[in-house]
Structure 1
Amino acid sequence: DIQSRTQLKSEEAEEGAGVALMCELSKAGVPVVWRKGTEVLKSGGKYQMRQKATVYELLINKVAPEDGGEYSCVCGTQKTTATLDIKGRKEVFKNRNCFFFFCSGVDSDTSSKSYFGFYVQLLFFCHAECILLCMFLLYDVHQSVKCTVSPTTFKQTLKSQEAEEGASITLSCELSKPGLPVEWKKGTQVLRSGEKYQMKQNASVNELLINKVVPEDSGEYSCVCGDQKTTASLNFKGRTSIKINACPPVFTKELESQTVEEGDSVTLQCELSKPDVPLEWRKGQLGLCPCAKYEIRQTGRLARLVIHDADPEDSGSYTCDTGDHQSTGDLTVKEKVRIVRDLCDVTVSTGQDACFEVELSHVGVTNWEWWLGDNLLQNNDLNQMSSQGRVHRLVLKMVTTDESGDVAFVVGEEKSVACLLVEEKPKGKSDSMVNRCNQDAVEGDDITLHCELSKPGVHVEWRKGGVVLQPGKKYEMKQEKRVQELFIRNLEPEDSGYYTCDFTFLLCIFNVLVFLLFYSSAVPDPPEDPEVLSKTSESVTLSWFTPLYDGGSPILGYRVEMRLVDSALWLPCHSEPVCNTEYVVGNLTSGSGYRFRVAAINRAGTGEPVELPLTVHADEGDLHPPDPHSYREDDNYIYILFLTELRSQDVPDGYPVSFDCVVIGKPPPTVRWYKDGKLLEENDHYMINEDQEGCHQLIITSVLPTDMGVYRCTAENSSGIAATKAELKVDSK
């Protein structure tokens, strides 16, 4: 219940002066309403309203007679009232054409020598009766009035103060006489009233208001009373020293996590509330210094860390530390795609197909290009481009001699070039039998390709994509009368392609073309949507979805790896493949930060891993959520608990959709929204709402087909991370 500690006090003021009405409440920060009579007063121009802690103040500038009346400060049901009385200027004598004003200042040093003993100002117009009357009055005053001058003193001096940066402070002193002019100084500098300084006078009390103090406002302030131009003046000063406590800088823009390609340069940037703040950059717990690898820049309030020539070992958690506050962001460096098997030169005859193959270090690469000479090739019936796993293939159909030249495969900065030679077919006749057939095979099998000629004993050459094959462990060639055979052992994905049997008879070349179509030749895609389901101080439970593409063969299991945040070394979490889509990683060190990644395994091998987007900390404490109905403010446990979880939805294209959940925790958790592992930010398409009861909501204003996917809501505090997820399906119109 709010009470009035100090009531408003009635005041008297001279016309033209400034008046301050003050009261104090029992609680700070509550709204109040100032009134004059029944009229509600607004701040600006005539009135200025201020609040400092529990003290509320109304300043009335340059009061006029009509400003007199009853003023009140109202807060809820509490009301305090005071009366303001305005006094007009005093006139000693006023008559039609002449005015007499008695001055208030008397020079005591010269009063005994002055004929009258004090100064009188006489303003008049040229009328004889006025002049005679003035003389009479002056003589009468001289005979009967004796001036007594009392010196001006400070009844209350200024007091030294301390203030926080950004606050406003008031310096106040009281003179022994009201209405005397004063001068405010900072050191030797005379202060003027304006946006920074506001000066006011209420009877004998003088105040200086300094707005939004900064460290540069520290120093000695003076209030000077006295007229230096008089013959004998009394000058009195009250001084004070002000000490400004600077507020520590805070981050107005945090570091953001980034993912870059190997070899790129990356800039981590944050913004502070103050310029030129001393900073420390760290990777994990290791402090960073400027060198060829790291470039540290600071311009005004912006702080940047530039990492040159990023490599996978640069992945980790980076921190910008001011001493009082820290901002942290994660950097993930993807290995650069490399060509691990180059193109081979191909020689074919006119009208044949030319096949080129190249193998990359990664699967799922899409930013590749095929070139023939200076021409960028497009995928069509004549230029057939395909990929299986890490192998990319180009088949040039029915080539001509004009197409002889260089064939190049380009991906990023990597390039592989081979020569295509197209020869004219010699004219002539030959007795031969041409066979064409397609065959399917399974990885690990053996296969035999054969063709039959019209005559026995003919020398032939077996080729793969124009490259002559040699007998060995992989290939075995046989000839039995008119039948030619090629035996291929232990098939691998790289064995897919076009095979030809070429022979020369009577200077004529004939070909038998066999195409081997190979299945199960790719490793699986990365698992989908990995996340942390729960954790304790020594373990963490991970979960994920199966890959979108299994590589053409069943998933045999999963590989889970982890590393410390300040290390680049990935370590396996198990000895045998994980057979389901959940795994508990144990034996964690309390207080340490970890990163995790998961990869799928099939017969072709282990696919690309997917890394969980957040650093997981194994923290101490009771992490089991209590019953929310038994929660008490003095409980010392920490927890996160989803009271309601997300649910999957199926909505028509163009309709809005809302995902809702309720999460509580101690300390209050930080909530983030993700789609397919990508952090969502509020914009015209996504609206993110929350309230104090723990209700969180993600609204998609108008669903598009591209919005289909898995949506996840994560909650994180010092106890760890909890999450809930749901799938969105969109029905196209």
Structure 2
Amino acid sequence: MNGFHGAPRFLARPKPMGKLAVGENVVIACQIAGDPTQTVSWKKDGRWVKSDEHFEEVFEDDLYGLGISGLRSSDSGEYVCCAKNAVGEAYMGVVLNVEESHFSSYFAATEKPRFISEPVSQHVQAGKDVVFSCEVAKGQPPKLWWENNGQVLRGATMDDRHSMDFVDNQATLSISAVCPEDAGTYVCNAKNDIGEASAAASLSVENLPNHKTICQSNLIGHWESPTDSLQKGHSNHKYYTDVTACRRDCAMQTFQRPFDDLHHGDDLGGYKSSLSERRLQVKNCSIVEGRHAKFSCCVTGKPKPSVIWQKDGRLITEDHRHHIYEAPKDIRVLKVLFCRPRDIGLYTCSASSSLGQTFSAVRLDVKEPDSRFPEKLRDAEARERGKATLMCQIPFGALGRGWYRDGELLQPGSRFLMEELGTLRRLIIRDVQPDDDGIYVYELDDGSRTVSELSVKGKIAKRLPRKLKATEGDQAVFQTQMTSSQLQSHWLWKGEKVLHHPRAVIQEDGLFRFLILHDLRPEDSGEVSFVVDGSRTTSQLCVKAHKIDISPPEQPMLQKSSETSAMLSWLPPNPSVGVHGYKVEHSKLGSNKWFCCHQAEYLQETNTTAVVPEDGEYIFRVFAVYTNGQSICKDIPGSIHLLSQAKFTRGLEDILLPEGEEATFSVELMNPMKGHWLLNGQKEIASEGRFKIKQDGGTHYLSISKVEREDDQMKVKFVCRTEESAADLHVQAVP
């Protein structure tokens, strides 16, 4: 804050811009200082400006701006920057004058292109003619072009069978005598000075009856189950943000498959003629913004087909928001994490082999959450070691659950500053590190989310995944990218520099750096870091051991040993191969919550003495702990009434005072409990005569009035259940 403390103050004012032309892009910028950090908003002619595709609020450190894309004549007027914090507020204004010439008023677009009808996906027999058509809303004629599987249709990518036309806002692509190579996703793109839009459809071409295609696929799309919600108060909760090196299971949902009528065996020569030409029934998958979409495609064939995923005809590659993997039973999976409006489109799973190809498609739609954010998070970019700020506005009266980075709940700290100013929520990240690159979410109590991506620019262009999971015996591949090949770099594995290791291989490819770990073992789990010239990115390697026979303990027994503890015992499981120890839990009778009885991760012995946090009737259960998990629980028969143990937070202290004064002893327990006082270790003290006894919550008092010389060396003891505390009274004679 440049050493400035107090109300906001403008260090640099917006510059006058003179006359501006329709269609230009401008940014009104100013520099503001204040402590605490100010919130900045903008007004035009006295009305608040809301961020959209035309207006965008930008800020970095103490620089704030309002960007305006594609100026219109209606943008003329007075713009005021309003900065406020808890100390005060400040305002600064500038006037924009947008001129509209005769030609600009005729040719300038007032909004980005919009499709009022889209092309329809089709399935045809080879040799047939296909026509894709769509209509653009009337306005300035946009620039139009078609793509097939990500390639623009022109010159080398077209032949005499292709023709395109655009008449009366109707775009048409015609393909005559289609062949299997024409199959794929076709996208019509429209662009003007304001923005662009696209509309997609898929084409599937069936081989002629005398050909065989040993390849089939069926694609379904669904949103992840409600268990992917961020849990309240649990910072260790994760939701599919880890890159996994081993195969993962795929839970198939009950969505109708778009190609149910394409179920067939390996010999496709028996296709019925009724399938020769039909429309593809592309199904829709609708999810709420901020949730995860999962596309599952069953792909079979001999030889085994290769599979690619595309969105609107463009190849999807794996990154921190797109996970691609193969699950059991020939299931291919694409996960799109933290969906946003830009993820709307047509998703296709294309399978091909030497004998042919096929594909399936699902259209994804992203809906607004139940609670709409007046101001959503926006993507941001920050320099390494710099500062990043993310800000949103929540609905009035809504309760916030917190900030998350790649699914992990963030806690306030020296680097993460979280501010709440009215309905504004702000996250400030100081000393930005490469591993701060990722997906940030602010979630409300009802599960509604707003999402942004933070891109960190520095010496590391691509960070490591936060976690990499593998199975014993597999290999793990860590990949990162530097911004310059001249920088010095090295790998760390479990804190040690990787130089020469029989199971580790280091490779380089241009700016990319690889660490490959072979023949993984459970003990290999730990941190893997890539360090380049002082910058570091870290991943957590988790190696899961092969499954072994997991059996619970046998013959558990319970017997009461005292009023505050219970002796529990059991026998090892049979067989007991791979057992590391045991875990014991207790629960209050009638409750469904279980708590661990010991501080250690697990017990080595086959018995333990259990204590409880509060009085009540308790039941117990025991697990066997193995390398790759724990067994099912074994309930210990019966229940037992136990009292909680007394714990002193402050014990008795010796007292020295002259005779005739009042002596007051006090002791403090962790929880309110009853106890009794003893005199000289034997006689119980009653609250009468010179002795007064008092309890206030967990604090107990004993007052002795007018102490006498004979009281010197008196021993006072307080006893509560099995615990006790003692002190001496020393009386000085008065001269």
Q: TM-score, normalised by structure 1?
A: 0.24
Indicate the structure (1 or 2) with the bigger Cα radius of gyration: 1
Q: TM-score, normalised by structure 2?
A: 0.24
